[in-house]
Amino acid sequence: MNAPVRVALGDPLINPTATREALIRFENVSKRFAARRGQAEVRALEGIDLAIPKGAIVGVIGRSGAGKSTLIRLVNGLERPSGGAVVVDGVDVAALSEKGLRGVRGAIGMIFQHFNLLSSRTVFDNVGLPLEIAGASRDDIRRAVEPLLELVGLSEKRDRYPAELSGGQKQRVGIARALATNPKVLLCDEATSALDPETTSSILQLLKRVNAELGVTILLITHEMPVIKEICDRVAVLEGGRVVEEGDVFDVLTRPRHPTTASFLSSVTGIDLPADVTAALRPEAVAGGQAVVRVTFTGENATTPVISRLTTTLGIDFNILAGRIERIAGRPFGSLVVSLPGEEPGLSAALAALSQLGLGAEVLGHVA
């Protein structure tokens, strides 16, 4: 597999995607669903401003009901905004007629949580369907479909029916089908939510490859932070129909500013404390006790021997309770839970020293 061509990722201050030209732009987009008997009007989206850079993989994360399904469907006109513009490759799709939309949709592929393959068609005929709809000849269809089946690794399943495939294979067919018309954009609607973790990972790797090798811009929606962490360049956090946080994946994941983001992150960058520590944790300081502090390392910090430096300069003894180092968007990110003497002013001095070293420090609680 070819490595994705990316700007050097060493310096966390340089944002490689933000400066790129936007392929999709949401401009003050809102979407309301009309009131129904006994129900008030639903405001699905409000004041959405979002740019999807060309060639990027952008993730939108949110809980169910946050509006992410509506958001992604605005891009290919399956949903129409109540206000604002959705500009895809220079065209405001919100202003197009249903007929005009059909022309644009060839440039926008889409894959779905439940795959949405036709059970009556073989793998080959499913992948060829968008071309058939576009009026391509049989020969053209064959010429386009065969390499796509190869790309997704399903050449030998070409004459099988979807019912004979596993979930991961079905999604591979979905991806091949979405790519059949050679689109610029691939929309992924919870594409891995129905798959087990291993299959999810292989599908994400395939998407990454599609992005890198074919230059297809990917917009995906998910409720799973690991998906964002594994393949996205940028992330937007959606809650209650609004974007509450948006930015470079590494920045957002390592320094979340919104509580919703933080709650999504607990499963990804959090650490499981030993059960006895969690049980003993108290919010108030305990006389003569210890403070439990979560220290986070980002970028190059993740590899500096900070703890030993702290011990030597401040003379504080840290007790390491738990920790892990992982890679987010290709950059190392570490978090460590330590306990140290919880009495002031020693604790404040230690926290100040930590932040001076460029580390995140968060007091989780106190133990006796």
- The binding site for another protein (CB under 8 A) comprises 76, 78, 101-106, 108, 110, 112, 114, 116, 118-121, 129-130, 132-134, 160-165, 181, 187
As measured in angstroms, the least distance from the Cβ of 81 to another protein is 17
* CB closer to another protein, 190 vs 248: 190
- CB closer to another protein, 114 vs 142: 114
**In this structure, is the dihedral angle defined by the CA atoms of residues 271, 200, 71 and 23, taken in order, positive or negative?**
positive
Q: DSSP labels for 84-112?
A: EEEEETTEEGGGS-HHHHHHHHTTEEEEE
Q: Nearer to another protein by C-beta: 155 or 181?
A: 181
Question: How far, in Å, CA of 127 to CA of 349, rounded?
Answer: 62
Pairwise CA distance, residues 45 & 358, whole Å: 37
Minimum distance of another protein from residue 78's CB (angstroms):
6
Beta strand 217-222 pairing with 57-61: parallel
In the chain, alpha helices (H): 68-75, 98-105, 123-133, 138-151, 167-179, 197-214, 225-231, 249-254, 259-265, 275-280, 306-314, 346-356
Beta carbon of residue 106, minimum distance to another protein (angstroms, whole number)? 5
Query: At closest approach, how far in Å is the CB of 62 from another protein?
Result: 20
Query: Based on CB atoms, which residue is closest to another protein, 61 or 165?
Result: 165
CB of 211 to another protein, least distance (A): 19
Least CB distance from residue 122 to another protein, whole Å?
A: 8
Give the residue with the Cβ less far from another protein, 64 or 120: 120
Nearer to another protein, 131 or 273 (CB): 131
- The nearest distance, CB 164 to another protein, in angstroms, is 4
- 3-state SS, 8-69, equals CCCCCCCCCCCCCCEEEEEEEEEEEECCECCECCEEEEEEEEEEEECCCEEEEECCCCCCHH
- The answer to whether the beta carbons of residues 215 and 289 sit under 8 Å apart is no
Q: Residue written as tokens 């790309």?
A: 151
33 vs 313, beta carbon nearer another protein: 33
Q: Minimal distance in Å, beta carbon 253 to another protein?
A: 30
C-alpha dihedral (105, 160, 149, 209), degrees to nearest 10: 80
d(CA 188, CA 206): 13
Comparing CB distances to another protein, the nearer of 165 and 310 is 165
The 10 Å CB-count burial string (b at 16+, else e) for 304-324 is eebbeebeeebebebeebbee
Burial (CB count <10 Å: 0-12, 13-18, 19+), residue 178? buried
* Shorter beta-carbon distance to another protein: residue 173 or 237: 173
Minimum distance, C-beta of residue 245 to another protein, in the bound complex (Å):
28
